[in-house]
Amino acid sequence: MYVFKSIASLQNDLRQGNTTCKGLVNACLSSIEEKKHLNIFLETFNESALKQADLVDAKIKAGTAGRLAGVIIALKDNICYKNHKVSSASKILENFTSLYSSTVVERLLDQDAIIIGRTNCDEFAMGSSNENSAFGKVLNPVNEKTVPGGSSGGSAAAVAANLVHVALGSDTGGSIRQPASFCGVVGLKPTYGRVSRWGLIAYASSFDQIGPLTKTIDDAALVLEIIAGADEFDGTVSSKPVAEYTKAAPNKKLKIAYINDCLDNEALDPAIKNNITKTIEKLKQQGYTVDGVDFKELEYLVPTYYVLTTAEASSNLSRFGGVPYGYRSKNATDLESTFKKSRTEGFGKEVQRRIMLGTFVLSAGYYDAYYAKAQQVRRVVRDKTLAIFKDYDIILMPTTPGVAFEHGSKTADPIKMYLEDIYTVQANITGVPAISIPAGVNEQNMPFGLQLMARPFEEELLLATAKHISAL
């Protein structure tokens, strides 16, 4: 069987005739079937994937193939692909078929990638463990007793289990980076406005970004290069030119900061703390400036995130009412009961909790106390984070406080689950780019990631530094 190492070596092997797209698709489909018990895929797109494989094989022969020729990609189940189902892992969208393709999918297909299927995730991307899917939990391929993380848990697990070469996820508060950390793969959240959200089912529109989960940093760079950039269908996307991320080279004179309280956190797994401390020492030995800085707003990050994202979600999810599309309750008798019953029966518990919380913080009596206040805190957090970036090029921190936890161990206590996001939400609140790279394993052999953040639109520097650190 073909062993995938990187997109660059795959391209080489395809050109040399060592493998074919059709062979790759068939092999991936059989591996997915073999690993069915992990519940990673909600559906595979056999017919369209095999058709695309034939087309791309012909292009390779003719020497006209694109930069992602033969790369087999899985989509998180909230990214639209024309004429294919998409459900956001929710009963409310079960059997819904996309009428158009997201911009990211079009750009991948333009470069001859092959989309193999849609992966399981937390319902409407709300969760940190993939246990909120309406279609069952995903097992972490590294240790099946544990969760793969969330909400892009299926995407991270698909890459980790070698079922695909690349997967796309979405990251609103850590949903690419946290599962990447739990499954031992690379996960990149681009700057807000770097990648089009056209065709991404919205959770919290001012936080959401699509990004890649990959085996290598170079692969993440290449996928970003292809999916990033202006798009007439999304007014929040920047028209800044897209750099050649694949050519990003390490810069020795970088200044790196870490936030003191992040490393002093009692909840931080000692293995992760140890690993980061060693990385800091190595960087210092190489002549990098690495300093601890204070960031007093740390304790406000998770509350700010949950006030603002639930507010945005309550508005975004108001479109699902059983009328224009999606699940419609059979028990409804009139218009009002159609809305009520369809939403009550169609949405899962966590989604309902967030819609109610979001509606509450936006309600006339509490708007100023919660929503307006959280917006103000968001501004302070952004200003303070950008102030660190005046003196430093990169902020280094853990991706998660711990490694993958056992199924069911945090479901009873939402606050415990929300605290999983302590290190990841800062990048979404401020909009800066962030990456999680595999950093090591703890005593139980469970992987964890190291996270880097950079100034807005400095993905080049982010990726270059990530490469340097991963080679230390």
Q: Smallest distance, Å, CB 151 to ligand GLN?
A: 4
Dist CA 180 CA 470 (whole Å): 15
CB of 71 to ligand GLN, least distance (A): 24
Residue 64: Cβ within 10 Å count: 11
Alpha-carbon span 424 to 65, nearest angstrom: 37
Instruction: Give the shortest CB-148-to-ligand GLN separation in angstroms.
Output: 13
What DSSP assignment string belongs to 148-216? Answer: --SSSHHHHHHHHTTS-SEEEEEESSSTTHHHHHHHT-EEEEPPTTTB--TTBPPSSTTT-EEEEEESS
For ligand GLN, which stretch binds (CB under 6 A), given 3-11, 17-25, 121-129, 289-297? 121-129
Q: Give the range of 124-132, 238-246, 289-297, 318-326 binding ligand GLN by CB under 6 A.
A: 124-132
Give the nearer residue to ligand GLN in terms of CB position, either 28 or 79: 79
Closest to ligand GLN by CB, 231 vs 421, is: 421
* Alpha carbon distances (Å) from 311 to 356, 360, 420, 444: 9, 8, 20, 39
Q: Which is nearer to ligand GLN, 52 or 151 (CB)?
A: 151
Q: Is the dihedral of CA 397, 299, 403, 219 positive or negative?
A: negative
Q: Report whether the peptide linkage leading into residue 87 is cis, meaning its omega lies within 30 degrees of zero.
A: no
Residues between 135 and 164 with contacts to ligand GLN, criterion CB under 6 A: 150-151
Least distance to ligand GLN, CB of residue 411, Å: 12
**Given candidates 171, 218, 219, 459, which one binds ligand GLN under the rule CB under 6 A?**
171
Kindly indicate which of the ranges 68-76, 171-179, 244-252, 321-329 contains the residues binding ligand GLN, using the contact rule CB under 6 A: 171-179
Q: Is 119 in the site for ligand GLN (CB under 6 A)?
A: no
CB proximity list for 294: less than 8 A, separation 6 or greater: 259, 260, 261
> Applying CB under 6 A, does 399 fall inside the site for ligand GLN?
no
Q: How far apart are CA 467 and CA 10, in angstroms?
A: 20
Q: Of 90, 175, 342, 436, which is the active-site residue?
A: 175
Give min distance, CB of 422 to ligand GLN, in A.
10
- How far is C-alpha 373 from the chain's CA centre? 27
d(CA 385, CA 84): 40
Residues in the chain: 472
**Which range binds ligand GLN by CB under 6 A, 39-47, 170-178, 242-250, 256-264?**
170-178
Q: Is 375 left (phi over 0), alpha (psi -120 to 50) or beta?
A: alpha
Residue whose C-beta lies closest to ligand GLN: 175
Contacts of 381 (CB under 8 A, 6+ apart): 297, 300, 301, 304, 426, 429, 430
Q: Rg of the Cα trace of the chain?
A: 21
Q: Is there a catalytic annotation at residue 151?
A: yes
76: annotated active-site residue: yes
Edge-to-edge order in the sheet of strand 447-454: 41-44, 114-119, 72-76, 166-171, 209-214, 186-189, 434-441, 447-454, 394-398, 255-259, 289-293
* Residue 182 within binding range of ligand GLN, rule CB under 6 A: no
- Answer yes or no whether residue 401 interacts with ligand GLN by CB under 6 A: no
Which of 101, 129, 133, 151 is an active site residue?
151
Q: Which of 29, 125, 311, 454 contacts ligand GLN by CB under 6 A?
A: 125
DSSP string for residues in 71-118: -EEEEETTB--TTSB--TT-GGGTT-B-SS--HHHHHHHHTT-EEEEE
- In the complex, the smallest distance separating the C-beta of residue 61 from ligand GLN, rounded to whole angstroms, is 41
- Size of the residue set binding ligand GLN (CB under 6 A): 13
Q: Pairing between strand 114-119 and 255-259?
A: unpaired
192 binds ligand GLN (CB under 6 A): no
> Could you tell me the smallest distance in angstroms from the CB atom of residue 11 to ligand GLN?
31
**Is 181 or 279 the residue whose CB approaches ligand GLN more closely?**
181
Please report whether residue 212 would count as binding ligand GLN according to CB under 6 A: no
> Rounded to the nearest whole angstrom, what is the least distance from the CB of residue 241 to ligand GLN in the complex?
27
Alpha-carbon span 221 to 229, nearest angstrom = 13
Q: Which residue has the tokens 């999916």?
A: 227
Question: Which part of the chain contacts ligand GLN (CB under 6 A), choosing from 81-89, 167-175, 399-407, 435-443?
Answer: 167-175
Q: Is 120 near ligand GLN (CB under 6 A)?
A: no
Give the x/- contact pattern for ligand GLN in 410-439, rule: CB under 6 A: -----------x------------------
79 binds ligand GLN (CB under 6 A): no
90 makes contact with ligand GLN (CB under 6 A): no
**Binding ligand GLN by CB under 6 A: which of 38, 69, 126, 308?**
126
88 binds ligand GLN (CB under 6 A): no
Q: Which is nearer to ligand GLN, 203 or 339 (CB)?
A: 203
State phi, psi for 396 to the nearest 5 degrees: -110, 135
Cβ count within 10 A of residue 441: 15
Applying CB under 6 A, does 131 fall inside the site for ligand GLN? no
Which DSSP helix (H) or strand (E) runs through 377? helix 373-391
Q: Calculate the dihedral angle through the C-alpha atoms of 446, 467, 262, 375, rounding to the nearest 10 degrees.
A: -110
Could you list the residues that contact ligand GLN (CB under 6 A)? 125-128, 150-151, 171-175, 203, 421
Task: List the catalytic residues.
Answer: 76, 151, 175
